[in-house]
Amino acid sequence: MCGIVGYIGEKEALPILIQGLRRLEYRGYDSAGVALFSDGKIRRARSVGKIDALAEKIGEEKFLGTLGIAHTRWATHGKVTEENAHPHADCTGKFALVHNGIIENYREIKRELGSSHVFSSETDSEILVHLIESFYKEDLKDAVLRALRHVRGTYGLVIIHADHPKELVVARMGSPLAIGLDNGDYFIASDATPILPYTKRVMYLDDGEVAEIKDGELRVSNLRDEAVNKKVEEIEWNEAQAEKQGFSHFMLKEIFDQPTVFEDAIRGRVYLEEGTAHLGGLNMTEEEMRKISKVIFVACGTASYVGLMGKYMFERLAGIPTEVEIASEFRYRDPVIDEHTLVFAISQSGETADTLAAVREAKRRGAKARGIINVVGSTIAREVDGGTYIHAGPELAVASTKAYTNMVAVVLLYALQFGRLRSLSLATGQRTVKALLEIPRKMEEILKKSDEIRLIAEKYKAHKDFLYLGRGINVGVALEGAMKLKEISYIHAEGLPAGEMKHGTNALLSSEFPVFAIMTDNQLYDKVRSNVEEVRARGSKVVLVANEGDAFAEKLGDDVIFIPKTMEMLEPLLNTIPLQLFAYHMAVILGRDVDRPRNLAKSVTVE
């Protein structure tokens, strides 16, 4: 999603802004731009395409100055053009503004501004800078505050003005913004990644807050201009954690990170003797936990497939009726919720707009809302009344891998904790914890098969469609396998419960339509096996994920990836890894932009 960078201080702003934009590239974008206060005026440069194109455009001109803003745009209103790229200027050319979010009443505002304003783009963001211009009477922050009182929608914005070379104003409503502080230097960004090389001291703005940085001082207020006291936090992630560490892509590095980050997710949270887990951040008494009568997972995309697995885990281990809701649907339904409903929001970024809206809706209806989140200090993490960080570290590839795995781990720990408080036996609890502790070693074994999986991908590279099948807890794995393949290799793929094939999808089967099936050794093994036989009988090639020593799989599959066995509820932790590797290698073979696939964003902060 669009990225914002800003800087005010003693240093040259341009290199900080350009480097900041590069560090936000993982969010996805289609154009970029900068504006600096330089030689007594605001100078802007914008360009369609990559940051390199923008840097080239600025070239020798070298915008010198210590105040500036920059932006990567991902088109919402208006086409991908230079005119639509940010920063936007007002009629006088003295203001420059970068904006993330959507101004819902921009048409109304444009009408009210009338013909005295000249607009040069099709964006809602440009309307905003003209609105601010219309309220401006020498006080920059005052003009911003007045304008924002007329705005409906979401924004994260940074604005500068040529008559205020020592001032920058930042505001947030629904679009995240962080401010890094370092001895009078201030770094603004949509998330902490661009700030990390300079400082670890960060302040996160909340909705309805405006920060004015003027003459080296930072002051935060609400929209009524009343001062707000803010906390400065220390970020834990270091820069090295965000590097590729020798892997050719972030995605591959993140796939290989999984055994280590999985250990981080469970460390100090599982108890072998008691056969349970304890996640301290839940903020609920045991009595309240026992009274929970329904669990709902709200999430989007990959995180929603984790919710699907969570349904199996919670119903099997804890006996609690559980639902999974795509967050963008949940917010517009009339979910039946009361104070004994526990709503878990699952999100890597903690900024997904639909998931955040679902959390707010759940809270409004009286449910207990808790988070299963990766990014520390993110909006959802701060809005829920408790929950757990999954400790996957920064995930920079757009396609989620290690965060997915750690989400599965934490959901499982919760199911175990609730289960042991209810009727789950000590023996099953202990078996589960023991099996969890064996997972990292088994993951390592699967990762050793990366080259073998690359050869399989090579064999299937000409195919245009893929089907992924699973049953039980592996339905979610099949959906995730299909998601990984389509998002990074652009091959059409579908995930289905294997038993559903005969109700329609069988009609697609032919030698042109290969099928990936998860056929690991669990209570549904025989069912999956007969589904795979049906698929074979219709001419499709079959790639199987099966457990080591399965002689039947050897005969049945055209290709088989053998992996170690684990308990059924833990299978997603292992079974997904071959599918991640298959998608990764396929995307590389097809020459795709693996870490930054087209049309996708890492952090989806608009509805």
Beta carbon nearer to ligand F6R, 123 or 400: 400
Taking a C-beta distance cutoff of 8 angstroms, is the pair 65, 14 a contact?
Answer: yes
Neighbour count for residue 267 (Cβ, 10 Å)? 9
**Dihedral in degrees, nearest 10, Cα atoms 265, 269, 270, 271:** 160
Helix (H) or strand (E) holding 470: strand 465-470
Structure tokens at 328: 């963008």
Beta carbon nearer to ligand F6R, 37 or 389: 389
Nearest to 4, CA basis, from 214, 136, 155, 184: 155
Beta carbon nearer to ligand F6R, 541 or 602: 602
Taking a C-beta distance cutoff of 8 angstroms, is the pair 350, 380 a contact?
Answer: yes
> Which residue of the chain is nearest ligand F6R when measured via CB?
301
Distance of alpha carbon 557 from alpha carbon 553, whole angstroms: 6
Distance of alpha carbon 494 from alpha carbon 463, whole angstroms: 14
Could you tell me the smallest distance in angstroms from the CB atom of residue 483 to ligand F6R? 6
Q: What are phi and psi of 206, to 5 degrees?
A: -105, 165
Distance of alpha carbon 457 from alpha carbon 592, whole angstroms: 14
Distance of alpha carbon 544 from alpha carbon 538, whole angstroms: 16
Nearest to 324, CA basis, from 372, 393, 377, 285: 372
Could you tell me the smallest distance in angstroms from the CB atom of residue 257 to ligand F6R? 15
Could you tell me the smallest distance in angstroms from the CB atom of residue 158 to ligand F6R? 23
Residues 6+ apart with CB under 8 A from 59: none
- What is the pairing mode between strands 233-234 and 67-73? unpaired
Taking a C-beta distance cutoff of 8 angstroms, is the pair 401, 580 a contact?
Answer: yes
Task: Name the β-bridge partners of 547.
Answer: 563
Distance of alpha carbon 414 from alpha carbon 425, whole angstroms: 15
602 is catalytic: yes
Would you give the distance in Å from CA 564 to the centre of its chain? 30
Could you tell me the smallest distance in angstroms from the CB atom of residue 240 to ligand F6R? 23
Beta carbon nearer to ligand F6R, 4 or 546: 4
Would you give the distance in Å from CA 393 to the centre of its chain? 12
Q: Which of 2, 253, 300, 541 is catalytic?
A: 2
Beta carbon nearer to ligand F6R, 323 or 487: 487
Angle between helix 301-313 and helix 474-489 axes, rounded to 10 deg: 170
Beta carbon nearer to ligand F6R, 148 or 407: 407
Beta carbon nearer to ligand F6R, 125 or 355: 355
2 is catalytic: yes
Q: Which of 253, 368, 565, 602 is catalytic?
A: 602
Could you tell me the smallest distance in angstroms from the CB atom of residue 348 to ligand F6R? 3
Residues that bind ligand F6R (CB under 6 A): 300-303, 347-349, 352, 355, 399-400, 483, 487, 604
Beta carbon nearer to ligand F6R, 43 or 602: 602
Bond preceding residue 165 cis, omega within 30 of 0: no
Taking a C-beta distance cutoff of 8 angstroms, is the pair 46, 54 a contact?
Answer: yes
Could you tell me the smallest distance in angstroms from the CB atom of residue 176 to ligand F6R? 12
As a whole number of angstroms, the longest Cα–Cα distance in the chain is 80
Beta carbon nearer to ligand F6R, 55 or 577: 577
Could you tell me the smallest distance in angstroms from the CB atom of residue 300 to ligand F6R? 4
Structure tokens at 389: 């960080």
Could you tell me the smallest distance in angstroms from the CB atom of residue 452 to ligand F6R? 23
Nearest to 378, CA basis, from 396, 397, 409, 356: 356
Could you tell me the smallest distance in angstroms from the CB atom of residue 347 to ligand F6R? 3
Active site residues: 2, 602
